[in-house]
Chains A and B, each alone.
Chain A
Amino acid sequence: MPYLSRIRINHLRPASRRLLANPHVTHGAVVGGLAEITGTERPLWRWDTDRAQRPHLTVCTPSKPDWSHITEQYGWPDADGDQVLVRDYSPLLERLATGQEYAFRITANPVQNIPPSQKDIDEHHGEKKIRSRRAGHRTAAHQWSWFLSRSEGWGFEVPPAPLPPTEQDGDDPAAAVDLRITHRQRLAFDKKGKSVVLTTASFHGRLRITDLDRFTYHLTTGFGPAKAYGCGLLTVAPLTFGNGC
């Protein structure tokens, strides 16, 4: 039974800065909140930093988590207000149906597979099979088309943006569909002495469910790679004025 959580983080604590700066540390803190990890399902998490002074961590976990260690180390353990919000995710999963539209948010890791070059083949003479190399998409246009080309396999589509006909946005690809890239980042951090480099992009927009099973599956297991590092958690919210894009 999956759960969705939101944890407030006190950014003034030195430990919180390490947490915010290094996805490897965040992943450790998130996994530490699960008493049992059942099956192959893994926790998904994402930083929501709409307001720089109020970062919060959104987490989707396969079982009921306990975030008291995060609040104690990185939050306000004794302060008023909900420091942690944990809700059962199943009412949403039961409510979803094909054709429904929602506002969504996701931070993803757009990547491409680069087939082995002749040079790679020459270096591995003797070996017959050489794996292709994975590299991040680094431009907004590539990240954009990566997301749109994957969306069908993930069980949803991004409908056209209802722009007024007077707007002359003919040559602007951003105007064609209801999707925006709100943040792009190159993350470079340490993982046990080795450095990891990731290119991430945050997408906001509107989606319409086309394949319910695939969409529900990915909602709890993640979209795209780098799921341990704050990528792949898609959240949906009601479409109201002032919400979608």
Chain B
Amino acid sequence: MSPEPSSESSVLLLRLAGPMQSWGDRSSFNRRETRPEPTKSGLVGLLAAALGRPRGADLTDLAGLRCGVRVDQPGTVLRDYHTVSDFRGLPLLQAGVSAKGVQKPTSPAKPTHVTHRFYLQDAVFVAALAGDSELVGALADAVRRPAFPLALGRRSCTPTQPLALDVRPGGLEAVLASEPWHAARHARQAYRRRQGGAVPEVDLPATFDDEDGTDVVNDLPLSFNARDRRYSTRRVRHAWLTVPTGETAVGGAAAASSHDPFALLGW
């Protein structure tokens, strides 16, 4: 783990849960995909919306926050088959432009596009954003009383409450590892069934901003301007966190293989 800058004095914890989420990082046109985890651009966009910043506003302070995302419940992918057409019955526009720089209509005329939109359904993530405590405090207030409606990656994906969990001092990884598991009841029951009883800890995958990380993702937002969207890359590190489940141990892991009737026969 790289040493954390001294300016990082507090961490904002967000619980990202809702019926649907969609975190696209590179898809455009008619196939809109989703990443399995929230993107930094999605998180920065959510915070900028909470602060009431317009589209073209400067994002350097928000993009400078160190972020970490924990997958509490991975969810499943939902594909939405969608068609798009002009309500006046006009042909849709093509990619090519005329001499005036205006998009030409499709020829032969094409009235309907088929698009595919992908969503994560029934997923729960815990995102942590570490930075200057003054900024993080302001962000926590803004998320509790947002200026614009907040969404989980796409406008149609509304979050469930509570969205802002806490503001805590300390390092990003330590805070994220100490936050209890936020899985739904059915996911907990499935985990208990697999483990053969309640266990006090669960291992969850997590991704952190790290300059020495092994992976590169192209989701660091430079501008959300509608006519000038720009992204840069960031390095991330993938890790596993051992997180408290909030349950006391009742049975145990390995119950299936530990039943030994001969243990009572004195051998």
Chain A residues in contact with chain B, CB under 8 A? Answer: 4, 6, 50-51, 58, 85, 87-89, 91-92, 95, 102-103, 105, 161-164, 166-169, 172, 174, 178, 180, 182, 204, 235-238, 240-245
- A6 pairs with B262, CB closer than 8 A: yes
For the complex, what is the distance from the CA of A240 to the CA of B248, rounded to whole Å?
A: 14
Asked if A95 meets B259 with Cβ closer than 8 Å, knowing A161-B250, A242-B252, A243-B251, the reply is no
A102 and chain B: residue at smallest CB distance: B264
Q: List 29 A-B contacts (CB under 8 A).
A: A4-B265, A50-B256, A87-B267, A89-B265, A91-B265, A91-B266, A92-B265, A95-B264, A102-B264, A162-B248, A164-B247, A164-B248, A166-B247, A167-B188, A167-B198, A168-B185, A169-B185, A180-B196, A237-B260, A237-B263, A238-B263, A242-B251, A242-B252, A243-B259, A244-B250, A244-B251, A244-B255, A245-B196, A245-B251
Contacts of B266 in A (CB 8 A): 91
- A58 pairs with B261, CB closer than 8 A: yes
**Interface of chain B: mostly helix, strand, loop or mixed:** loop
Q: Which of B185, B193, B264 is in CB contact (< 8 Å) with A92?
A: B264
- B267 pairs with A235, CB closer than 8 A: no
Whether, in the assembled complex, B216 has its beta carbon less than 8 Å from a beta carbon of chain A, the answer is no
Chain B interface residue bracket vs A: 20 to 34
Whether, in the assembled complex, B249 has its beta carbon less than 8 Å from a beta carbon of chain A, the answer is yes
For the complex, what is the distance from the CA of A245 to the CA of B197, rounded to whole Å?
A: 5
- B255 pairs with A85, CB closer than 8 A: no
Whether, in the assembled complex, B149 has its beta carbon less than 8 Å from a beta carbon of chain A, the answer is no
Whether, in the assembled complex, B253 has its beta carbon less than 8 Å from a beta carbon of chain A, the answer is yes
Given contacts A50-B257, A105-B259, A245-B197, 19 further A-B contacts (CB under 8 A): A91-B264, A91-B266, A161-B250, A162-B248, A162-B250, A164-B246, A168-B185, A169-B185, A180-B196, A237-B259, A238-B263, A241-B249, A242-B251, A242-B252, A242-B253, A242-B258, A243-B252, A243-B259, A245-B255
- A238 pairs with B264, CB closer than 8 A: yes
- B258 pairs with A243, CB closer than 8 A: yes
Contacts of B262 in A (CB 8 A): 4, 6, 85, 87
Most buried by A among B189, B196, B250: B250
For the complex, what is the distance from the CA of A91 to the CA of B185, rounded to whole Å?
A: 43
Q: Which of B185, B253, B261 is in CB contact (< 8 Å) with A236?
A: B261
Whether, in the assembled complex, B254 has its beta carbon less than 8 Å from a beta carbon of chain A, the answer is yes
Q: Which of B188, B246, B261 is in CB contact (< 8 Å) with A235?
A: B261
Q: CB within 8 Å of A: which of B183-204?
A: 185, 188-189, 193, 196-198
- A244 pairs with B197, CB closer than 8 A: yes
A165 and chain B: residue at smallest CB distance: B248
Contacts of A235 in B (CB 8 A): 259, 261
For the complex, what is the distance from the CA of A242 to the CA of B253, rounded to whole Å?
A: 6
A238 and chain B: residue at smallest CB distance: B263
For the complex, what is the distance from the CA of A51 to the CA of B247, rounded to whole Å?
A: 28
Contacts of B196 in A (CB 8 A): 180, 204, 245
For the complex, what is the distance from the CA of A181 to the CA of B153, rounded to whole Å?
A: 41
Shortest CB distance B258–A (Å): 5
Most buried by B among A4, A91, A182, A243: A243
- B265 pairs with A88, CB closer than 8 A: yes
A161 and chain B: residue at smallest CB distance: B250
